[in-house]
Structure 1
Amino acid sequence: MVTATNVSGQFFQPYNFEMFQDLRPFLEEYWTTSFFIVLIYLLLIIVGQNYMKTRKGFNLQGPLVLWSFSLAIFSILGAVRTWGYMGAVVHREGLKQTVCFIIHTESTTIKFWSWVFLLSKVIELGDTAFIILRKRPLIFVHWYHHSTVLLFTSFGYKNKVPSGGWFMTMNFGVHAIMYTYYTLKAARVKYPSLLPMLITSLQILQMVMGTIIGILTYVWRQDQGCSTTAEHFFWSFVLYTTYFILFARFFHKTYIRPKVKATAKSQ
């Protein structure tokens, strides 16, 4: 049987930058720092909104374009590398290999993108700063999703949860499209009108697929060598369920309700 490591060797030779020193020991040791970061993040939201309450919002078009473009390129690169690797493993070994067994997480490519992905969740908190400084509406799903994703990513990384590879891979894929859209919008470049709806739909699909993977992990947990815990299953199920509800509600409020009202008025 071809192992996941061999698949990586045959199809995904790591680039030089992917062989950068592994930060796993450091990030595992200080994973609880994510709780402190989230606390500071939430406090800064309160302070920032109070500060901007009596002030005019900043333009920040240039910095926002650069910010969104940088995250778009990063997400595209991450999506290409992780989707390619995970797809190769699934093709050669089956889905269970990527969901249960820790061997594929030892790939040089996956190890690199895993710790970079974790650090990116800290950097992406900066999205909220642009919303506050530009005095745009800050909805609950935004800051809840940003803060809990950081905590869950830190928790999964510390425990080397194999199914976390799919959490990372799907997130990279959605963010590659989402930040590209943000870049176009910030640069005031015309984009397909259905693009925002597509992104929200993909986010909802991501929650559905994440829940399915979580259930499969729970079903396969008794198999010899299947590396998972009831604790991880519980928290992944809770988070994916809340994400699904919040994004589905956002989809209905943003795209369905306005159409229903418009139809009612025309009648």
Structure 2
Amino acid sequence: MEAHPLVPIGACLLYGLLMVAGQAYFRTREPLRARTSLAAWNLFLALFSLVGMLRTFPQLVHNLATLTLRENLCANPQATYGSGSTGLWVQLFILSKFPELIDTVFIIVNKKKLIFLHWYHHITVLLYCWHSYVTKSPPGIFFVVMNYTVHASMYGYYFLMAIRARPRWLNPMIVTTMQISQMVVGVAVTLLGFYYSARAADHQSCRIKRENNTAAFVMYGSYLFLFLQFFVGRYVGTQSPVASKKTA
């Protein structure tokens, strides 16, 4: 992955071109109503994310119990989460950002509204995750566990919606609140990263790379703003809450 930095860039460019072409193609055509395929896809991603969370969360708990917060955010990730089953599921998490682009296909073929937050999130998270992995970002385990957890719930919700089996108590506001909480923690982790890296005597004492942490701060900060905007537009006001569109 270090030797092929153009792969994620090429994937994002192709994604953008196909997204524009797909919308143009279906502009004058009927939606496909691919509900069965959508349900199967969401179920697959929900189960994948659940397993990923179960395989990475124990490592994060172990790290927090045995290392200081500074060590968790600054230590060599090859020692804290980059090996064994955790290392495997971290890598699978990074690679999963490519097939997750298929989410957009279902929005386009079903002629649903494609909001900026959706495609902006998919592009930026793919680029950031690839860069974090090849630069061995120390705080990566925090972001991986959070995203696996939120995606397990989010895609599970979408699956229930696709098969029309959502229980009354499962309000879409819950999913959006989880997404916003993830962004708040993400911003907090990046701010701590700036603090610890600024106080470090050298690179070896804190392996956070400023360009990667800056990208994370901008990314999570923009997500937080956009998700809050989405939350207010969707749930605050006179309109009744409706099912949340895919945004992450």
TM-score between both structures, scaled by the size of structure 1: 0.84
Cα pair distance change 1:141/1:64, threshold 3 Å: same
Structure-1 separation of matches of 2:162 and 2:58: 30
Question: 1:92-120 CA distances to partner (integer Å, 9 max, x unpaired)?
Answer: 22333321111213331232012111110
Structure-2 separation of matches of 1:184 and 1:65: 8
Report what 1:244 is aligned to: 224
Report what 2:89 is aligned to: 113
Contact 1:181 1:195 in 2 (8 A): no
Contact 1:90 1:97 in 2 (8 A): no
Structure-1 separation of matches of 2:86 and 2:74: 15
Structure-2 separation of matches of 1:248 and 1:193: 22
Matched, 1:126 2:102: yes
Structure-2 separation of matches of 1:34 and 1:206: 24
Matched, 1:253 2:227: no
Structure-2 separation of matches of 1:192 and 1:44: 37
Structure-1 separation of matches of 2:235 and 2:170: 10
Q: Secondary structure at the match of 1:83?
A: helix
Contact 1:104 1:110 in 2 (8 A): no
Report what 2:13 is aligned to: 39
How many Å apart are 1:213 and its aligned residue?
Answer: 0.7
Report what 1:63 is aligned to: 37
TM-score between both structures, scaled by the size of structure 2: 0.90
Given candidates 197, 222, 226, the residue that maps to 2:173 is: 197
Matched, 1:161 2:137: yes
* Number of residue pairs the alignment of both structures matches: 235
Q: Secondary structure at the match of 1:185?
A: helix
Question: 1:156-214 CA distances to partner (integer Å, 9 max, x unpaired)?
Answer: 01100011211111110100000000110001113245531111111111111011111
Q: Secondary structure at the match of 2:237?
A: helix
Residue type of the alignment partner of 1:128: T
Contact 2:50 2:149 in 1 (8 A): yes
Residue type of the alignment partner of 1:30: H
How many Å apart are 1:218 and its aligned residue?
Answer: 1.3
Structure 2 matches for 1:131-142, cutoff 5 A? 131-142=107-118
Residue type of the alignment partner of 1:254: R
Structure-2 separation of matches of 1:67 and 1:81: 21
Structure-1 separation of matches of 2:74 and 2:85: 18
Report what 1:206 is aligned to: 182
Structure-1 separation of matches of 2:206 and 2:143: 17
- CA-based RMSD: 1.6
Structure-2 separation of matches of 1:239 and 1:106: 23
Structure-2 separation of matches of 1:56 and 1:229: 48
* Higher Rg of the two aligned structures: 1
Report what 1:24 is aligned to: none
Higher relative helix content: 1
List runs of 5+ in structure 1 lacking aligned partners. 1-26, 261-267
Report what 1:176 is aligned to: 152
List runs of 5+ in structure 2 lacking aligned partners. 241-248
